[in-house]
Amino acid sequence: MGFIRDSIHGDLHLTDFELKILDTVEMQRLRRIKQLGFTNLVYPGANHTRFEHSIGTLFLANKVGNTLELDKEVVELLRVCGLLHDIGHSPFSHVSERALKHKHEHVTKEIISNSSITDIVEEQFDVKLIESIIDGKTKYGKIISGDLDVDRMDYLARDSYYTGVAYGVIDTERLIYSLTYDNEDLVLSPKGVQAAESTLLARYFMYPTVYQHHTTRIVNSMFRVSLSRLLEDNIIEEKQLRYLDDGDLINITRNTPGLPEKTMQNLDTRHLYKKTDTINLAQFEKPSLIVEMDKKYLTEAEEAIANKLDLQPEEVIIDMPEELSFKKMNMKVETDEGLKPLTEVSTIIDSLKQAQYNYADLALFMSPENKKIALEKNIKLTDFLTLPS
C-alpha cells in the first residue's frame, strides 16, 4: 500500500497490486512521455506526463465507482482500467499518432494482453474485460471512455493547471455526483446538465487555445513529417515506438542526417514554419467532410505546391485540424419524459456541433523563406484543393 502526491487530486492511495503494475517498465515509460507533446514550446509549464494523467484517471474512476455505489471488485477493476488506459501512447502522445497506422488504443490492448503487465493483471482480472472497458464497452465502459468520462475530466483539469489556461477548469465533483445508471446505461441526472455543459465548453475552448494553438500545430506538423521520414526510411519501425520515450525519439531524430536532423535544429532554434494560407471550415455546409478527407489527397496537393515552387515535398505541409466530434454525443439525461440525448436537453451543447468549426482551419505551413516565395507567386490552397461545398 502506498500514496502518491498528485498536483491536481492531492494524495492518491494505491494498493500493493496497483503498485506492482505501476512499477513495470511499460508504466514507468509514461513518466517520460509528455501529455501535450511539444505544447511546452508555447506554454512552458506544460511538462506534465502520461504517468500523472494515468494515476489521476485511476483516482477519478475510483470516485465515480464509489459514488455510483458499485461493488468493491468493480471499483478495483475500474481503477486498474484508469491506470492502464493510455499505456499504448507513443512518444509525444498524439503528435506522433497522426503519422502512424495504429492508434494508441490498439497498442494499449496489445500491451495489456502481451507484456510483463499481462501476468500481473491476470492475478486478479480478466484481460479481455479490461480491454473492453477501456474500449468503452460493457456496462462500465462509458466511465473510462465515453462522452463525459474520467479520462476527459482529468486531462482537462490537468492541462488547464499546467498551461495556466483557465478554460479547462471544470466542476468535476458536480459532474460525478450527477452520474447514475438506468438499467445498464450510464446517464446524467437533470442537476448535472450544467456541469456537463461546462465540461464540454471547456473542451471546446481548450482546443483553439491549447490543443490546436497555431504554433503548436506548426511544431507538431514539422515533427510529424520528420517521424514519417524515419518510418519510411526504416530508421525505426512503428512497433518500436511502444518501447521508446520522448528522449529516445528526440535522440534518434537529432542523429539521423537529412530531414530529421534539420527538423530538430529548426525546433532547437525556434526556426519554425509559418502559416502561409488558411481555409476556415465554418464557411462550408458540411465541414466534417473536409476533416474526413483522404490524407492521400492532401499529400498530392502538397506535392503539387512543392513542384510549383521548386521545393522538396516535405517542405510543404497542409495540416488538417482535429475534429471535436460533438455530433457523436450519446450521453442521455433523465427527464420527466424519459431519457433524452444531452444534445436535445441542452441547446448549448447542440450548438457546439457546428460551433466547433469556428476556429478550425485547413492550414498551409512553410518555412519563413519559402512562405515569402509562395506569397510572391500568390499560392492559394484553393488552387490545389477541390473542397466539397
Q: Sorting pLDDT into bands at 50, 70 and 90, what band is 389?
A: low
Domain chopping of the chain, boundaries: 1-164+213-272
169 or 306, higher pLDDT: 306
- Please give the C-alpha separations between residue 306 and each of 105, 195, 298, 367, 370, in angstroms, as whole numbers: 35, 48, 12, 12, 10
Q: What is the pLDDT of residue 282?
A: 87
- What is residue 2's predicted lDDT score, i.e. its pLDDT? 87
* Spatial distance between the Cα atoms of 91 and 241, rounded to a whole number of angstroms: 7
**Pick from 23-37, 134-148, 346-360: least confident:** 346-360
Angle between helix 50-67 and 150-163 (nearest 10): 130
The predicted structure's pLDDT at residue 325:
67
| CATH 3.20.20.70 is the classification of domain 1-164+213-272 | no
Q: How far apart are CA 361 and CA 216, in angstroms?
A: 14
C-alpha cell at 28: 514507468
User: pLDDT value at position 327?
Assistant: 59
What band does 326 get if pLDDT is binned at 50, 70 and 90? low
pLDDT in tens, 231-260: 999 999 999 999 999 999 999 999 999 999
Alpha-helical runs (H) found in 122-245: 127-134, 141-144, 150-163, 172-177, 193-206, 214-232
Lowest mean pLDDT among 140-149, 176-185, 316-325, 363-372: 316-325
CB 78 within 8 A of CB 143: yes
Distance (Å, whole) CA 385 – CA 318: 11
- CB atoms near residue 339 (< 10 Å): 14
Residue-wise pLDDT for 266-299, tens only, equals 999 999 999 999 999 988 888 888 888 888 899 9
Phi, psi of 164 (to 5 degrees): 80, 15
Q: What integer best gives the mean pLDDT of the chain?
A: 93
The single-letter code of the amino acid at 178 is: S
C-alpha 152/C-alpha 250 separation (Å) is: 28
- Give the pLDDT of residue 98: 86
pTM recorded for the entire structure: 0.94
Q: Which amino acid is at 6?
A: D
Please determine, for residue 224, whether its predicted confidence score (pLDDT) is greater than 70.
Answer: yes
Instruction: Retrieve residue 383's grid coordinates.
Output: 488552387
Quote the distance between the C-alpha of residue 41 and its chain's center: 18
Render pLDDT for 356-383 as a digit per residue (tens, 0 to 9).
888 889 999 999 999 999 999 999 999 9
pLDDT value at residue 375: 96
Is 150 in contact with 57 (CB distance < 8 Å)? yes
Residue whose C-alpha cell reads 512499477 in the numeric block: 23
Convert the pLDDT of each residue in 100-149 to its tens digit.
999 999 999 999 999 999 999 999 999 999 999 999 999 999 999 998 99
Average pLDDT over residues 67-72: 96
Q: What are phi and psi of 122, to 5 degrees?
A: -70, -10
More confident: 348 or 19: 19
